[in-house]
Amino acid sequence: MKANEDVDDSTLGAFADHLIRQGVHGLIPLGSTGEYYALSADERERVVRVTLEAAGGRVPVMAGANAGSTRDVIAFSRQAERLGCAGVMLAAPYYSLPRLDELFSHFRAVNNAVGVPIMLYNYPGRTGVDMPPDFIERLAGLENLRYVKESTGEMPRITELLRRCGDRLGVFCGCDTIALESLMVGAIGWVGGVVNALPASHARLFELTADKKDFAAARKLFFEMLPTLELMEGGGKYTQWVKAACGLMGHDCGAPRRPLAPATPSERRRLREALSHVGEGRRAHLEK
């Protein structure tokens, strides 16, 4: 965001390029940390276009296409497909609190309307609706349901999803503080917000667990990252602090759009201290 709260296209494009150069394997614009809920329809389209252009085919771009109604989710999903996204990420529609039978009909309708992969996003802390593993297993029968981002923060959810439908759905960790355990037991990826501030460390942790299977080195790195991850997860200001942390790391993304407010000076000091535990943070010469 610019100082006047307009979307800053040039900074967004440059930042997407930075994340790719630091080793991240994919981008998901318009997720919850990406403030999709605070953007107009035109702004949402611009964000997707800018991100796709910046990525230039180097990594897949899977757009968040969430909204409050099935009609709008279908429209945003079709738009993402038309623009060239590799897929869409979908949480439960917010505020209306659909029951599971209604939610199944919702996802079935979106599935039937698009031809790209869908990543489920189970985040009851934000949406007010939980999608338990048996329900997600049922959804796995839909043709385009390929992935799930599990964000309850409950490690048994990850293992239960892997047991029930890991052969049909790629399971992604969606809670930063259990990322190491999730990757070690078979999650195929990690979708996070703090990766915006520490992209190289996140990519390195994935490489150590998924490719090299060097769990001792992965644990050492994760413990360095943990003060930042725990602060973000438990501080009650996730989006605000992610943006502040990006600025401390030398990539000013602006403040969030109101009603969210920028981090205070004391909060920035806490973030700076946490980031200093990570080699990537020390090398960045954290901004004061």
Summarize pLDDT for 120-135 with one digit per residue, the tens.
999 999 999 999 999 9
Q: In this predicted structure, what is the pLDDT of residue 162? A: 98
In the chain, where the domains are located: 9-215
121 is catalytic: yes
pLDDT value of position 63: 98
Alpha-carbon distance of 201 to 107, in angstroms, equals 34
| pLDDT at 122 (0 to 100) | 98
Long-range residue pairs from 210-219, CB within 8 A, at least 24 positions apart, any chain: 210/183, 215/184, 218/180, 218/183, 218/184, 219/180
pLDDT number for residue 281: 84
Q: What is the pLDDT of residue 282?
A: 86
pLDDT at 286: 74
One-letter amino acid for residue 161 of the chain: L
| Active-site hit among 36, 123, 149, 237 | 149
**Marked catalytic residue, from 36, 121, 123, 238:** 121
Strand partners, 122: 150
Contacts of 92 (CB under 8 A, 6+ apart): 98, 103, 106, 122, 124, 127, 128, 129, 131
Is residue 23 within 8 A of residue 199, CB to CB? The reply is yes
What's the whole-model pTM score? 0.96
Query: Can you tell me the distance from the alpha carbon of 266 to that of 41, in angstroms, rounded to the nearest whole number?
Result: 35
CA 147 to each of CA 50, 117, 157, 259: distance values in angstroms, whole numbers, following the listed order:
24, 8, 14, 32
Question: CB of 117 within 8 A of CB of 87?
Answer: yes
Query: Which residues touch 146 (CB under 8 Å, ≥6 apart)?
Result: 87, 117, 118, 119, 169, 170
Instruction: Report the CATH fold assignment for 9-215.
Output: TIM Barrel (3.20.20)
Q: Is 149 a catalytic residue?
A: yes
Question: Residue 288: its pLDDT value, please?
Answer: 60
Q: What is the pLDDT of residue 285?
A: 66
pLDDT average per 10 residues of sequence, the chain (288 residues): 96 98 98 96 98 98 98 98 98 96 98 98 95 98 98 97 97 97 97 97 96 94 97 94 96 96 97 95 75
Q: Phi, psi at residue 20, to the nearest 5°?
A: -65, -45
What is the per-residue pLDDT for 287?
67
CA distance 89 to 276: 32
